[in-house]
Structure 1
């Protein structure tokens, strides 16, 4: 059930009766091979509850597909995909997972990017909108390399590696450029590290909740996430030590500073314990620093890497603009050399003009971040004030940094409410997409990157959706009227 509701994605974001929108999405999944012939579909009431719609919406959607020959419905055996439901072009198992069995994504975060909708306020994808003017200036003033430069730099343009290394040194981690690999965003950095360390069946220590994109990467590599609770003070280090001692995972992944989604920060003493435990049990430890330089006040906490052998990943995409696909890995020189060879297999190196522009941006990054932090602080306070005004029953504590709030609903679950919120014009990320333990079902992740006026409109839409969620969902027309619509 959870897999189906996740893969349904933004099914309710179009125009028209809900039962037709649901039927259209299920039809597409059947024709694409994501629902195989003979596969059982959830009972009417079960699916209706998961999607926060009336039972008659599901009944009408199923009936539409039954009339088309896409599904069969029999008392005692339930609802199943018809044996001849697939179209000829998708009648192969490769359609479901790709030609080599590679998984695609059902992550709502990515589906919101893959399936954009009109007039939806996006509180789900937390990335800065629009390039800063300094990026435009950086491109205008590019100084390209000499004619002798082929433009292939698998490890990254030397000048950029030097700038990133210098920034780590200034933050208390003294390194040279040989310790830096430039990647196409932090997502590629995480993918390369996973390919290097994780083989099918290996366990990967993760926080619960954590960044949903990381879970997708580990699953794509056939790794088995090993969850450890995380909260306002970061990962539960005692539980992490026990998990490492018992399971000896192939990799550990944490967000020690301004955790995504909770906003938590791992205290220094706990950070030292975690690093020492990873060393003791031979677990390579990744610290995702994508948000580490976004405190809402005061200086950023010291990097986890100051305590020992930690692999750091970072990015300019969250600091400046999502379209600036510059990320990096910081690690031991031998690891960087091996990752560079692995990256060369995939793309021979990231885009050179973008790297050259990034060199210019890094020289002015402190000034750029000062402006961005002030704006984030204003928007953080505004979003919390609007939530308190219109949704006072929600629990939404302040965060010390980053760009998201972790809101707990007083009742119900985030997945079903997220579907209902989408129909009211606002996309939010349910906690279930971020936590494989199921303990975050009552949570939503909300970002505060929009302008205050847009955040106010988003909360107003959430309030209308919450009112509808607390009452019985409206029922679509049934009986003769429904049959007339179907005909």
Structure 2
């Protein structure tokens, strides 16, 4: 099994070590579940004992005992010289065996709550009071509605509100240039389905939002990193990209904000090479200086720049309302594609979103004030308890990008998990699996909980750094 496949197995294990009992039993139980669910299909080679032990930051004996138990239960076959493979099993007709990829961050959403403090999923866990009021106003509109409710492009009230939002930001927009989606994730999925064919090259920044990487991979694209400085843009045409994806404002995971000159260069690049460019503005309203920069589309000379956004970060992740702003012909094609998938979004939520956009400035101001305070607190705690870790303070958003002084973040994440904190390693944010010495931390928790999380991370780091030599990803823990 190659290194990438070993990483895939580790990603699918999720929070395997967060239960009670010996580690080998916890590991065996999680592997057995993955095998029984068809995520690890029959015949798949599993990582060698030493390799998996190194990835999980456990002793080799833990992996050997887990594999031996799985062999006794008929889930794996172990042979001297040929390693360990998933055994052939009698499968229910409905069981999937296609080895579906799962983003490790999404696995934490799918995993049931287990007392682990999650620094993985960067989304607000408490809706603002304005949300309930917006829904109450939306429900008041229902008695007078005379509509089937199937609106693939979106509810007219929300389309008008989103168009007005962009006009207020200096980007003239009509309702024909907007389509409402079930969050920004569906926006990405629709665009990839329409614009990307198997084998196409998609360029992204690195690090970048891992959900986008997974969408493009699901479309069978080749995802490659690019830089948005002048040398990087000059080299990009050699990749012959079909699509470019960027997060210019409050970038996930670094929290950086792209300057106006770089936005102009990106827009000019898209126009010159006639390449669609997706700018993800999900966190655009969360800049700590209180200003929301102009979208890249505001600098565009043509129709190549496509803007996506949602209310999941500024308001609440449970409000699954997002949108795409693009040329009217592209929006029309997207609406037809959307109709095939689900006939359109839920109407009451869209009416509530229209009401929320009218109050967005007040919501944004309160949210940024909270985020900035929690960001500063997290940075102070890291400097106090983990002074060897390095990071740049964020300019906005919800996350910071931390570099470890040694070791490999994936292995450290396993140790952190056993100390009650789940953190995402850097390779999840890199299309080529790089940034192995980085991890992302969010600052969405109250300050007391952030302090507890940092102290747990500090304890995990002492355990990890005390037993691990300064290492590459191939260092083994035995």
Same fold, judged at TM 0.5 (above): yes
Question: Which residue is equivalent to 1:232?
Answer: none
Is 1:20 the equivalent of 2:13? no
In structure 2, distance between residues paired with 1:438 and 1:219: 13
Contact 2:13 2:31 survives alignment (8 Å): yes
Match of residue 467, structure 1, among 448, 462, 468: 462
Q: Cα gap change, 1:105/1:131 in structure 2, threshold over 3 Å: closer, same or farther?
A: farther
Contact 1:14 1:117 survives alignment (8 Å): no
- Superposed CA RMSD in Å reads 1.6
Match of residue 395, structure 1, among 390, 399, 402: 390
In structure 2, distance between residues paired with 1:437 and 1:197: 22
In the comparison of the two structures, how many residue pairs are matched? 458
Question: Which residue is equivalent to 1:377?
Answer: 372
1:272 is displaced (CA, Å) by: 1.2
Is 1:135 the equivalent of 2:131? yes
Q: Cα gap change, 1:149/1:36 in structure 2, threshold over 3 Å: closer, same or farther?
A: closer
Superposed, 1:42-441 pairs within 5 Å as: 42-82=47-87, 84=88, 86-89=89-92, 95-97=96-98, 104-142=100-138, 143-145=140-142, 146-229=144-227, 235-243=228-236, 245-308=237-300, 309=303, 310-441=305-436
Contact 1:228 1:236 survives alignment (8 Å): no
1:355 is displaced (CA, Å) by: 0.6
1:250 is displaced (CA, Å) by: 1.4
Contact 2:15 2:422 survives alignment (8 Å): no
Q: Please, which runs of 5 or more residues in structure 2 have no aligned partner? A: 1-5, 469-478
In structure 2, distance between residues paired with 1:69 and 1:368: 55
1:188 is displaced (CA, Å) by: 0.5
Question: Which residue is equivalent to 2:3?
Answer: none
1:77 is displaced (CA, Å) by: 1.8
In structure 1, distance between residues paired with 2:338 and 2:230: 32
In structure 2, distance between residues paired with 1:267 and 1:138: 34
Contact 1:208 1:227 survives alignment (8 Å): yes
1:147 is displaced (CA, Å) by: 4.4
In structure 1, distance between residues paired with 2:313 and 2:73: 46
In structure 2, distance between residues paired with 1:323 and 1:107: 20
Q: Cα gap change, 1:240/1:2 in structure 2, threshold over 3 Å: closer, same or farther?
A: farther
Greater mean deviation of Cα atoms: 276-285 or 180-189:
276-285
SS of the residue corresponding to residue 390 of structure 2 reads: coil
TM-score, normalised to structure 1, is 0.91
Contact 2:202 2:241 survives alignment (8 Å): yes
Contact 1:5 1:50 survives alignment (8 Å): yes
Contact 2:150 2:343 survives alignment (8 Å): yes
Deviations 1:338-371 (A, max 9, x none): 1111111111111100011111111111011101
Question: Which residue is equivalent to 1:482?
Answer: none
Deviations 1:151-187 (A, max 9, x none): 1111111111111111111111011111111111000
1:285 is displaced (CA, Å) by: 0.4
In structure 2, distance between residues paired with 1:328 and 1:411: 41
Contact 2:198 2:220 survives alignment (8 Å): yes
Q: Cα gap change, 1:6/1:79 in structure 2, threshold over 3 Å: closer, same or farther?
A: same
Q: Please, which runs of 5 or more residues in structure 1 have no aligned partner? A: 98-102, 230-234, 474-487
1:237 is displaced (CA, Å) by: 4.3
Match of residue 41, structure 2, among 36, 49, 59: 36
In structure 2, distance between residues paired with 1:107 and 1:328: 23
In structure 1, distance between residues paired with 2:121 and 2:39: 25
